Amino acid sequence: MAITICLSASLAFFIFFIVTDRHLHLFEIFVCWMVFIFIYGDIMAILTLNLKFITLDTDLEKIWSFFCIRFMLVPSIVVCLIDRFASIRFWGMKIILFSIATSCLVGIEYTLDWASILHHTHWHLWWSFIVWSALILVAYALTSVFRIIFKKDVIRYDRASS
């Protein structure tokens, strides 16, 4: 049951992201997605394997549900957020959007805890806000650096071809 709900939610948001207008190029979206999965995987490995702050259930269906959320829903939320950041020029709106996305990610994390997919041991709610905020900011910074490099290469290529 849990895998059906997680897979449906992940696919629904993924399809929503695909059909909406995007401001990033496909390659930028791919890089942002992969960078976030890499960073998120490292943080989750530290928290689960080394520090034992978060433990996963041993049921195979719940583990697959967690990985479905981890590799589809969470990165698509972060990539959608970074895509919206690219289109918004007003910093106040970016802060509001950042707060909403962070709250959604914390909500997903505690929904997984409520569904017994993962368990928090010696973990506080504000730590989740700090971790998600840091993950989003690092992914945004790396994507911004990549966009700067990508734009320079595109400009150089255009000038070379004319």
pLDDT in tens, 81-116: 998 888 888 999 999 999 999 999 999 999 999 988
Element (H, E) at 130: helix 125-161
Residue 162's pLDDT is: 52
Average pLDDT of span 25-50: 84
